[in-house]
Amino acid sequence: MSDRKLLVTDPASDQTLELPVVAGSEGDPTIDIAKLYPSLGYFTFDPGYGSTASCQSDITFIDGQQGILRYRGYPIEQLAENASFLEVAYLLLYGELPTSTQYAEFERDITYHTMVHEKINNFINGFHYDAHPMAILSGVVGSMAAFYHDKLDVKDPEQRELAAKRLIAKMPTIAAAAYRHHMGWPVAYPRNSLDYSERFLDMMFSVPAEQYTVNPVAAKALNLLFILHADHEQNASTSTVRLVGSTGANPYACVSAGLAALWGPAHGGANEAVLNMLNEIGDISKAGEFMARAKDKNDPFRLMGFGHRVYKNFDPRATIIRQACYEVLEELGQSDPLLDLAMELEKIALEDEYFVERKLYPNVDFYSGIIYKALGIPTSMFTAMFAIGRTVGWVSHWLEQSASAHRIGRPRQVYTGATAREYTSIDDRKPSA
């Protein structure tokens, strides 16, 4: 709490209330409105939460005006350049980068939990072959509460930590199994001699009939993307995990809800939507036509991968991924006309009054699909890839909330429906106009 206060005066009652200003370690000052309703009888109205901080958190800092993103104080650029995904996972979970001993122990723990109960594979087999991987992930992760119910006491910190590790360890296993189910391939069990990203690629692409060797370029690219996806403070899916967690629900239910929220095209589903959009545009010569459609308020078409609630400047993750696109394509000896098309769309947008005025810049999803495509990952799996990285953020926030005093999340509303009226018997009712 800072010494600053905001005075609110209600002319109707002539009452004045002092509202404390909450100061974080950095970031915009925030008014604590908890006393507003009890004292003056007013709620606040903020649909979409554009001006609302829902909690205090030590995990991730974003400055949307300057395009800054830091995990536990470390700039995303430095982590992307130097760290392994599990190092970042440790950082997000525990607040500090691990020593080599702590890292070895953490990696061993995660690796130990990579297998899933065999009956989970039966469960996956029950889905139709063309089920979307996010539908499978959300359903199967929710079902984990039925498979691992011996350690579900959310009041016990050790059991919470175990659930968090299980989720980080098993998410890639389940995601790869969802893909293999679609392909009609037998399940590939996790090979624990590989690291996190290599193991995922092996579970995705190895088949019993052939020797599969993980391409180190692909593993390095995945490591980078998982780091960039790992956390983003109170985004829609993380807020969903926290809201569900505030009821005392089990961690698998919370993360299953987070997966469902992530799937939406305004959120993590945008990476799949971007690639579909680039394919639909098809050619640089059509870029102008589609940009005009994106600006037309009578056309539902939006430039997917553009815009962000918080960033009013470049999304720093997009800058890193754009550079990585070139490197990965070059190292894999590939070229992709969709990258040229994406660059052209970006160029037009950065010079266009509509996009400049609204501060719409490329976000994390604009370029990531081009890398996933180069690695052979099908478009329908893109959001599942995002989910693997974001699982670390979800469980870090769930652990942070669970370890501190918190109330059930329960917003109010501005009621706009019918006022009180009398019940009439069915025979006396007239059809409404």
Q: Which residues are catalytic?
A: 267, 308, 365
Question: Scanning residues 365 to 394, which ones bind ligand CMC (CB under 6 A)?
Answer: 365
Q: Which stretch binds ligand CMC (CB under 6 A): 218-226, 278-286, 300-308, 321-329?
A: 300-308
Euclidean distance between CA atoms 91 and 60, whole angstroms: 11
Member of 62, 134, 141, 303 binding ligand CMC (CB under 6 A)? 303
Q: Which stretch binds ligand CMC (CB under 6 A): 138-146, 246-254, 303-311, 392-400?
A: 303-311
Phi, psi of 32 (to 5 degrees): -85, 110
Q: What residues contact 383, with CB distance under 8 A and at least 6 apart?
A: 133, 134, 262, 263, 268, 269, 271, 272
Which is closer to ligand CMC, CB of 172 or CB of 307? 307
182 binds ligand CMC (CB under 6 A): no
294 binds ligand CMC (CB under 6 A): yes
**Order of strands across the sheet with 60-63?**
60-63, 68-71, 74-75
Euclidean distance between CA atoms 372 and 363, whole angstroms: 16
Which is closer to ligand CMC, CB of 4 or CB of 358? 358
The two three-digit tokens of residue 279, written as one number: 């394919």
Member of 245, 258, 268, 316 binding ligand CMC (CB under 6 A)? 268
Which is closer to ligand CMC, CB of 198 or CB of 346? 346
Query: Least distance (Å) from ligand CMC to the CB of residue 76?
Result: 14
Instruction: Give CA separation, 249 vs 94, 184, 387, 402, 405, in Å.
Output: 22, 34, 20, 11, 15
Query: Least distance (Å) from ligand CMC to the CB of residue 52?
Result: 13
Query: Least distance (Å) from ligand CMC to the CB of residue 6?
Result: 25
Member of 83, 136, 204, 304 binding ligand CMC (CB under 6 A)? 304
Pinpoint the alpha helices (H) of 75-147.
Answer: 76-82, 85-94, 100-112, 118-125, 133-147
149 binds ligand CMC (CB under 6 A): no
How many residues sit in the footprint of ligand CMC (CB under 6 A)? 20
Euclidean distance between CA atoms 407 and 245, whole angstroms: 10
Query: Least distance (Å) from ligand CMC to the CB of residue 142?
Result: 21
Taking CB positions, which residue lies at the least distance from ligand CMC? 307
Query: Least distance (Å) from ligand CMC to the CB of residue 235?
Result: 5
Mask 222-261, x = binds ligand CMC (CB under 6 A)? -------------x--------------------------
The two three-digit tokens of residue 25, written as one number: 């370690």
Which is closer to ligand CMC, CB of 136 or CB of 318? 318
Mask 305-324, x = binds ligand CMC (CB under 6 A)? xxxxx---------------
In 3D, which of 268, 260, 269 has the Cα closest to residue 240?
Answer: 260
Euclidean distance between CA atoms 52 and 243, whole angstroms: 14
Phi, psi of 15 (to 5 degrees): -95, 145
Question: Scanning residues 341 to 370, which ones bind ligand CMC (CB under 6 A)?
Answer: 358, 360, 363-365
Q: What residues contact 222, with CB distance under 8 A and at least 6 apart?
A: 197, 200, 201, 375, 385
Euclidean distance between CA atoms 21 and 32, whole angstroms: 6
Euclidean distance between CA atoms 414 and 356, whole angstroms: 34
Query: Least distance (Å) from ligand CMC to the CB of residue 241?
Result: 14
Query: Least distance (Å) from ligand CMC to the CB of residue 303?
Result: 4
Which is closer to ligand CMC, CB of 304 or CB of 374? 304
Backbone torsion region of residue 243, taken as left when φ is above 0, otherwise alpha when ψ lies between -120 and 50, otherwise beta:
alpha
Which is closer to ligand CMC, CB of 57 or CB of 235? 235
Residues in contact with ligand CMC by CB under 6 A are: 48, 235, 266-268, 270, 294, 302-309, 358, 360, 363-365
